[in-house]
Amino acid sequence: METKLKGAPPVSPERALRVFTTPPATPSSLQRNAGIPLDLDLVRALRINRSAVERRAATLPARRTVKKEWQAAWLLRAITCMDLTTLQGDDTPTNVLRLCAKAQHPVRRDLLEALGVADLGITVGAVCVYHAFVPIAVQALAGSGIPVAAVSTGFPAGLNPLPQRIDEIKASAAAGADEIDVVITRAHALAGRWEALYDEIRAFREACGPALMKVILGTGDLATFANVARASQVVMMAGADFIKTSTGKEAVNATLPVGVVMARQIRDYRERTGCAVGFKPAGGIRKAKQALEWLILMKEELGDRWLRADLFRLGASALLTDIERQLEHFVTGRYSAAHRHPMV
């Protein structure tokens, strides 16, 4: 994948956009992570240099800059990797239907035409809702190719009895959810009960069946980077298809230092097993600039393959509005009011 670097020759906006937004010529050959036996020696031996991680995270946005047509292209890529989400207490069927409509047409048609990419069929990566709205979302997105993701397992705390959490997963899968976002019991990680965490995620994976399993660590509750790293390894060993930072309900959600830690665990797991596990930051990602930072982190730490929706997702809702505003600025030179880009 090309990236506009300092000193590179100029290119046309249309070429930049198509280079970065056109899918690969061949479909993904990724195989699901089946998991491996729990390796407690490896898990307990993990150590994280906090200052080094924070320095690395601080330098990432400065190491690679994208401007003009290249920035527009990266922002369009961010949209294709977005889990467009509504997880509010006042969600209604009408809100979910409007969200699904936005998911299928995330950018105004006039902007896509001005950018020269109206024929690319750009949509979001998935729509994420509570279990109660899965049937509505499945019906609204039928034929679009956009997956429906359901949060499950007593989201966001994950403290319901284990049988209830497993039944909730099965119910969401039966209702048509293509992906299930499950929540770990944070107490297992905080107390170092890695066998219990492994067994919990194995049970969740079995309940998911063919649905993709995205495992939420709740990193803001895990106290240390070492706990984040160990929990990441354990849930991948247990069969996680994605590891996800947060529910969006914690006091601290997705941060770049946590992203560095989790991305490096994904890289280590792939080197040891050959399995590629996806990554999803979620919570507090509201600005286009933040989306670019997460994409840069993926490119720098994991490579271009983690810049596509089958291995990278951004859990967000308000983010899409800001990205649309930035795209309109690229096209017109002016920033528009947020009401010109309604979410729902």
Sign of the torsion angle spanned by Cα atoms 114, 117, 118, 119? positive
pLDDT digits (tens, 9 = 90+) for 63-117: 777 888 889 999 999 999 999 999 999 999 999 999 999 999 999 999 999 998 9
Indicate whether 335 pLDDT > 90. no
To the query of whether residue 289 is one of the catalytic residues in this protein, the response is: no
Indicate whether 130 pLDDT > 90. yes
Place of tokens 């000193």: 7
pLDDT of amino acid 8: 38
To the query of whether residue 244 is one of the catalytic residues in this protein, the response is: yes
Rounded average pLDDT over 171-190: 97
pLDDT digits (tens, 9 = 90+) for 298-324: 999 999 999 999 999 999 988 999 999
pLDDT of amino acid 14: 60
Query: Do the beta carbons of residue 60 and residue 293 sit within 8 Å?
Result: yes
pLDDT of amino acid 287: 95
Average pLDDT over the chain reads 90
pLDDT band per the 50, 70, 90 thresholds, residue 22? low
Instruction: Single out the residue of 170, 179, 74 nearest to residue 127, CA to CA.
Output: 179
For residues 67 and 42, which has the higher predicted lDDT (pLDDT)? 42
pLDDT of amino acid 9: 41
Q: Which of 11-15, 49-53, 216-220, 304-308 has the lowest mean pLDDT?
A: 11-15
pLDDT band per the 50, 70, 90 thresholds, residue 336? confident
Indicate whether 16 pLDDT > 90. no
Q: What is the SS3 assignment for 242?
A: strand
Query: Do the beta carbons of residue 148 and residue 181 sit within 8 Å?
Result: no
What number of other Cβ atoms are within 10 A of residue 54's Cβ?
A: 15
Rounded average pLDDT over 254-274: 97
Domains of the chain: 35-340 (3.20.20.70)
**pTM of the predicted model as reported, rounded to 2 decimal places:** 0.92
pLDDT band per the 50, 70, 90 thresholds, residue 27? very low
To the query of whether residue 287 is one of the catalytic residues in this protein, the response is: no
The 10 Å CB-count burial string (b at 16+, else e) for 232-242 is bbbbbbbbbbb
pLDDT of amino acid 19: 57
Catalytic residue among 4, 102, 214, 244: 244
Catalytic residue among 181, 221, 241, 322: 181
pLDDT of amino acid 244: 98
Indicate whether 60 pLDDT > 80. yes
DSSP state string for 10-65: P--HHHHHHHHHSPPSS-------------HHHHHH----HHHHHHHHHHHHHH--
pLDDT of amino acid 272: 96
Rounded average pLDDT over 330-338: 83
